[in-house]
Amino acid sequence: MDAPSFSLSPRRSLCARLSGPPGLWVRKMDAAGCEVYRYPAWVLWRGAHSLTVAAVFRMGPMVVGGLWLAPGDCFVETYYANRWYNIFAVYARENGRLRGWYVNIGEPLEVSPDGVAYRDLALDLVVLPNGRQVVLDADEFVALPLPAAESRQAEAALAAAQRRFRRCWQLA
């Protein structure tokens, strides 16, 4: 898979500067392991326990937990092989400004020959640029028929993600 190339225009969003074919497919799975949707993405960075990709948001427009999402927005998505969450940084299509972060609570990253997959456990966290945090879909999470250990792992992942973002604002 080729690395993405970038133009030098600082006013365009990252996704507008990507060229070439996407390097992989991202597959979102529901709690039962069934594919909900898939989309193309460009690999930005591979680490020992993580993968960061860029993807163009193709749904919307919509507001989720105070986070505005619009078609063409750029999602810089980091998936972890050793954490029960993934983090999407959302950038505006029109000017590349950070809109906020969307954190999916779910099982660690799975790598397949054609891309990556994550099993979403319904629980989400939105973090706005001012540091405000909004937990989403807690009622859906509680209704899932998960083993107790898996529920505890997901709850611990939410708490870890919340701490991670609170530390960012303490350092600012």
What confidence tens digit (pLDDT) does each residue in 99-119 have? 999 999 999 999 887 899 999
| Helix H or strand E segment including 152 | helix 148-171
Q: Would you state the pLDDT for residue 6? A: 39
Q: Would you state the pLDDT for residue 103? A: 99
Indicate the pTM of the whole model: 0.89
Q: Would you state the pLDDT for residue 14? A: 74
User: Both tokens of residue 75?
Assistant: 């999602």
Q: Which residues of the chain have a pLDDT value below 70?
A: 1-13, 170-172
Q: 112-143 burial by CB neighbour count: b if 16+ within 10 A, else e? A: eeebbbbbbbbbbbbbbeeeebebbbeeebee
Residue 76: other Cβ atoms inside 10 A: 21
Q: Would you state the pLDDT for residue 143? A: 97
Burial of 80 (0-12, 13-18, 19+ CB in 10 A): middle
Q: Would you state the pLDDT for residue 12? A: 58
Q: Would you state the pLDDT for residue 170? A: 66
Q: Would you state the pLDDT for residue 16? A: 74
DSSP helix/strand/coil, 108: coil
Q: All domains of the chain, ordered by start, with CATH?
A: 14-171 (2.40.380.10)
Q: Would you state the pLDDT for residue 172? A: 52
